[in-house]
Chain A
Amino acid sequence: MGMTHIVDRRLNGKNKSAVNRERFLRRYRHHIKRAVSDAVQKRSITDIERGEKVSIPSRDIEEPIFHHGQGGKREVVHPGNQEFVAGDTIPKPEGGGGQGSGQGQASPDGEGMDEFAFQITQEEFLDFLFDDLELPNLARKKLKDTEAFKYIRSGFSTEGVPAKLDVVRSLRGAHARRLGLGGARKKKIRDLEKQLEALKTAPEDLDPAFSHEDQIQVLEEEIARLKANVRRIPFIDEIDLRYRQHVKKPQPATSAVMFCLMDVSGSMTQMHKDIAKRFFILLYLFLKKNYKKIEVVFIRHHTSAKEVDEEEFFYSRETGGTIVSSALKLMHKIIESRYSPAEWNIYAAQASDGDNWNDDSPVCGKILADNILPLVQYFAYVEITPQDHQMLWYEYEKIQEQFPQSFALQQIADPGEIYPVFRQLFERKAA
């Protein structure tokens, strides 16, 4: 026979189903989004960055077809008879609908069969988590921000400094020029030399009027003239020189810094901080999707502000009163010294229970409006309190009216609201 063709397909790529899988996720994006947002609320903060198991009610993904239901009269042949003989009767179980039609499936692993469960990857998880969200003012920053530059190669030029001379390219140009200028003459020289050779070996006296001697002399003179010409072609000429050219290209900043500002005064309980932390983490993940490099600055404050590391930020407790402006002042100082807005996209999230010394709130508003908001992409304030607002909130509301593009404030009363509030803050605005 020998008709069999054996093919190794293993290298053909395995993702033939990728599109179909994507279609499935697309179709059930609402289910998945819900599962993702539930997961965010249930998960511990540290393991937010992994995939997630998603369950969809089976009836929602059924592909219905016509089939038989229960009831009527049905006969089924089974294997493995032990003691039955024809005519035997077996009582039906109490209240049972009788035997199934073979449609029902037993669950192989105890997982309910009315759930279709599958795994999505971490990347898909984040995509669904931040679907429809966008960083405010991202585009604006890119266009406006022309202070950061990068030099990039952009071809070659005939002028430049010696340090940028491209030797290979220059010599190649010289070679081409020499060929171009000398080629025809060299060919002519070769032709004349052939004639000369022929003349020297040919027998004498074919044309007494123009003797061999004369002819040889004419040819030799011509050859000498041409050779001198060729010799005068310079090995390298100024017009051969090529310099690498670089142009200055405005570089959109790809780094971001995120300021986390939190009130740690006595009124902030661990529960408050936990909510704040989750909010900060969401913001961090979201920024990470958009920027290559992110730095995080933690500023905590009570009556005075301090830059701290993450551990101290979330877990140490302080007592005493609250002066919010201290944190804003420190933030401004840090921006000035370390994060030039030309190179950094600056985001800030401030969490507080709304408590502040009343005299301080107008100061906060002024620092924000005059010093901070002109420098940052977005400043989000979340007030973690189920109670009525205090002075600070009303001050911030005025700021929002003034800076609707770059300032937003929201209130969170319990952990379940973190994600919805986060979504509200970063919702894609209709263009």
Chain B
Amino acid sequence: MTNLMDRPNSPESDQPRAREPISTGSEWTFELIQKYDDEIAKCAAEFGLDTYPNQIEVISAEQMMDAYSSVGMPVGYHHWSFGKQFLSTSKGYQRGQMGLAYEIVINSNPCIAYLMEENTLPMQALVIAHASYGHNSFFKGNYLFRTWTDASAIIDYLVFARHYVAECEERYGVDAVEEILDSCHALMNYGVDRYKRPAPISASEEMRRQKEREEYQQRRINDLWRTIPKLDEDDDPVRRRKRYPEEPQENILYFIEKNAPLLETWQREIIRIVRKLGQYFYPQRQTQVMNEGWATFWHYTLLHRMYDKGLVTDGFMLEFLQSHSAVVYQPPFNSPWYSGINPYTLGFSIFTDLRRICENPTDEDREWFPDIAGSDWLETLHFAMKNFKDESFIQQFLSPKVMRDLKLFAIQNDDQEDVYRVTAIHDDPGYRDLREKLARQYNLSYREPNIQVWNVDVRGDRSLTLRHIPVDRVPLGKETDEVLRHVHRLWGFDVHLESVNDGTVVEDHHCPPREIEED
């Protein structure tokens, strides 16, 4: 457990003050929560944390399970998958396997954070510091969130989506809507243009435009298919070989929404809704280490600041630190509890070390981080929080010290070899390599297969071809054919998926499946 004396320096004097704690018991009341929040807010202001206004909601364990099951959306459309999530959450909770979410926070303005009524007062304070000031300032400051989401519009948009889906269920039946949603969910991670700047979500705009789209969209699609010249009219071999789309499209859902020949308008609208939700979650998928690291760094720093001011007791700190240590515990690779790198640990370690590099740089730090060593730590941390995502953050800020502390090492598993190879460890020759490998691990296109829309056979059978570009020969997983079935449902005609490595098709999937030739 972390030593109480080993606390970060406070920006003001180091003189211990007379202890006048806000409270001494561990029971919380609404008044106490208000008081703690006031004090945490003051500390956060001292450190220049810029946040959306906060809304803190006290809820019961059952309500926390509800919140959990709706994947962090405070309002959601109905779908069986959320019910499945709920069943497994409540099962886990009832068996005591799962410490329930101790915090859920919504990227919205105001920023909504949930406190569970069962928590003790120190836990409530920890969650407030972590979620309402840590995550909140991250949502407001990080460039991915600023680019991809509009915190002030998300709740309204979710309400719009819920109503729209419910209306469709009423008109077209629960089953028909469920089918479309199932298929869209299968492709939710492929509903984002990574390199294009999207329009932020806005509910009122969506509602206004929805009507317009209804009228024009169908016509546009009809045009696309009608203006295709007939085969015999167009014998130019160059034009005949031209693909549609001319450039591969990574946003598969968008492509289907705009081009699938048979979809009804409401089905296109539902694709759009899932696409927009995918967009909303897109920044979270790429900033887990940073976001949790930042929030953990700040609950740690803010509550220590409270301690320095004499606002909390030793007992409070002991309970808080116990929870904190549990959160940042990283089991080693050979532990039965190991399930990959703990993002809280990694992020917290990097931010903490970044502060150290600013305040107490060593020669090694000066060599590795010449621009940062000795700089203003608050400014540097804010810069790091605002302008990076996990991949680039690790690439930029993972220090040799953190690699040593966590004893990181890289293992290569090549299916063409009989052995695993240790390719880099936490030593001088290994640092750079190790850092690069870890950063790549957080690159979305390394984590998820790179699959794009390659071609539509507009003159022939209207089939859709997707192309997968494998990295290091890693093939597609077992569920690929299942996903393809969903693509087929949306597209309405045959769907093909080819893995192409250096111009050769190394793997292919088809829906409906190609019949195996009889011998």
Contact = CB atoms under 8 A, between A and B. Distances in A.
Interface of A: 1-10, 12, 14-17, 19-27, 61-82, 84-92, 98-99, 101-103, 106, 108-109, 116-119
Given A66-B477, A102-B340, A90 B419 contact: yes
B475 A6 contact: no
A7 B59 CA distance: 9
B421 A88 contact: yes
Closest 7 CB pairs of A and B: A80-B332, A24-B83, A72-B474, A72-B473, A20-B83, A64-B482, A64-B479
B97 interface: yes
B474 A6 contact: no
Given A17-B66, A76-B411, A66 B54 contact: no
Interface string B326-353: 0000111111001111000100000000
Contacts of A66: 189-190, 448-449, 451, 476-477, 479-480, 483
Given A2-B41, A7-B55, A85 B408 contact: no
Contacts of A25: 83
Contacts of A102: 340
Nearest to A53: B91
Contact of A21 (B87, B330, B345): B87
Given A75-B437, A79-B341, A67 B479 contact: yes
Contacts, number: 277
A24 B87 contact: yes
A63 B182 contact: yes
A5 B55 contact: yes
A74 B413 contact: yes
- Majority secondary structure of chain B interface residues (helix, strand, loop or mixed): mixed
B54 A3 contact: yes
14 contacts: A9-B58, A23-B174, A63-B81, A63-B182, A65-B479, A66-B189, A66-B479, A68-B477, A70-B415, A72-B473, A77-B434, A86-B423, A92-B420, A98-B420
Contacts of B63: 9-10, 12, 14, 16
A87 B54 CA distance: 51
A76 B420 CA distance: 11
B224 interface: no
A23 B30 contact: no
B425 interface: yes
A17 B441 contact: no
A63 B421 CA distance: 34
Nearest to A54: B87
Contacts of A84: 409, 422, 425
B37 A4 contact: yes
Contact of A77 (B58, B335, B437): B437
Interface in B9-44: 30, 33-34, 37-38, 41-42, 44
Interface string B242-274: 000000000000000000000000000000000
B505 interface: no
B448 A67 contact: yes
B432 interface: no
Contacts of A103: 477
Contacts of A82: 332, 334, 407
Given A23-B79, A72-B470, A76-B441, A4 B409 contact: no
A109 B97 contact: yes
Given A80-B332, A109-B95, A71 B473 contact: yes
A69 B407 CA distance: 28
B164 to A, nearest CB: 16
Contact of A9 (B44, B53, B59): B59
